[in-house]
Structure 1
Amino acid sequence: MIVQRLNLSHDGRDRRVTCVLPKEVQPGADLVLFLHGSLQSGSVARRFTGNTFDELTSRGCVVVYPDGVDRHFNDHRVGFNEAARRLLIRDTSFLTSLPSLLAAEFDLNFGQIIGCGFSNGGQMLQRLGLEAPGFLDGIACFGAPWPAADNVLPELATHYKDWVPVPVLSVQGTADPLVPYEGGASGIGNSNRGVARCAVDSARFFAQLNGLGTEDTNNHAHTETDGLTPTPVNAEPLSTRPIDGVRVDRFGPGAPESPAGGAAPVELWTIEGMGHVVPNPKEMDKKLGPSTNKVVGAELVAHFFGL
């Protein structure tokens, strides 16, 4: 693989991006964007995930790790109050510009664009789905449930009606000390991030946005008469337990653990006893809760999105 670091100008600010490419990039290669969590960077995210996402280059993917501003992305939560918010950083504009900038830099074109995000990075992907509907061909959130209704910036909640159905993979641990699996206040120390939905309700909300489990399952998000709140999902998820300590809940077409295919299912992987991490064999800081060797997040992404 080849590792290259770029400084790209956006809104008058240099933005750093770490790119990991196969030795030979084929036309139409899939692009994987990995967005780091709070207080991290692209380089830290590579180490934090045990370089497991780098290994997607063996499948022909180009893997890109953008840096947030002051180690954060300007996500959609009311409770988020870091420099990226105070400076009104336009991360959606930056991220949507990356494929064309990278295509010009490396003289290539991309196939699927899959967004993977941990914590703050996963919340940023949710904002991206609202502000740039249809840009991503897949979303994978690790330790990043949807915020509670009153913890979404009101100006972004108006975009629920614009949501374009997209396959979603969500992975959360039951022993997460920062983002509780059962929902509630989340954050690092005194850096409150507001209230998050519980993991299952978050997956259900993605399913609502995708129009799953409703009477009409066309390719538009289903909305109530206020134009803001997606129609509740009527169907319950199908569940399996592929290995001890792991449950998979799937909304939408296909059996649990099966690839998304051409549809837009939502799949929640619950990892019992796992903390605030992206699952991989590497031991993490104990403050984040327990690590796990039950599954590897990058491998779940590769299978679900057919990389």
Structure 2
Amino acid sequence: MEKKPEFVDRSQVYRTTYARNSKAIGVLWGVFTLCFAIIDVVVFVQPQWMGDTQSSKGTGQFGLWQKCIPNEGGGEPTCTGKLDDFNSFLNMPAIISTVFAGLSMVLVLLCIICMLLFFFCKSSTVFHICGWMQVFSAVCLLVGILVFPVSWDSPEVREVCGPSARIYNLGECGLRWAFFLAVIGVFDAVVLAALALILATRTLKPQVQPEPIYVSNGSVYKGQMNPGFVGDAGSMAGSRKSLNLQPVMLMPHPDHDSYSEFSHHTARSKNSAYRAQYASSVQNFQL
């Protein structure tokens, strides 16, 4: 048995495919946003932004707000530093770098909370909100990364990295994995923000099909035409046939009682004392 060919509207197929793909991309966007939040938190709390190498003068490692250096008596490095005590920071650039990195972390956590708005608001609105949050989060993290090397001009850093350590110069130390993870986080946030803004603007709008227009005898009609009920001489207004007929109004005669038009006239009924003269009970008025 041969299969009958099926005719499918290409625009409908495109809309269905796009809706399916956009949902899949939206799910991936949410997953990678969660990954970026984890990266941001790890970068903020880990004291592994820079540290000693084999050629370093001393032993130690530094983060945004923590420093891990050995005690005066030697031994394993001890990490010190508190977020609520600015005196424990290396210097003012370290405080500024910590503040901006903290703002970046707070923004991405708020972005994850805003994902709950998908159940109450339009997806385009939520993508707009989260996209701009990710933009500001990436900017704040980038500022923290750029300001952090300014904090290397401090006595604690020179004790570990040597006297050549200064602004944007590590001396005998080297960068650690947390610094590179922060750089990756910036690029991740930029890509996620761009993807969110694209998903916010590329929403499907309901497609309105225009009504067909028919022209007959110089007249224009809109609506659906059923040609099975229309002849060549008839015009269409919707699905009703328009005929060239004048309307007629039927009015009863005002002076006589009405009676059946189908009753027969007889001599007896005509001469009856109880009946008036016969006349047409209905008058036709043509408008």
TM-score range, shorter chain: under 0.3
Taking structure 2 as the reference length, what is the TM-score of the superposition?
A: 0.19
Which structure features the higher share of helix residues?
Answer: 2
Structure whose residues are more often strand by fraction = 1
TM-score where L is the length of structure 1: 0.18
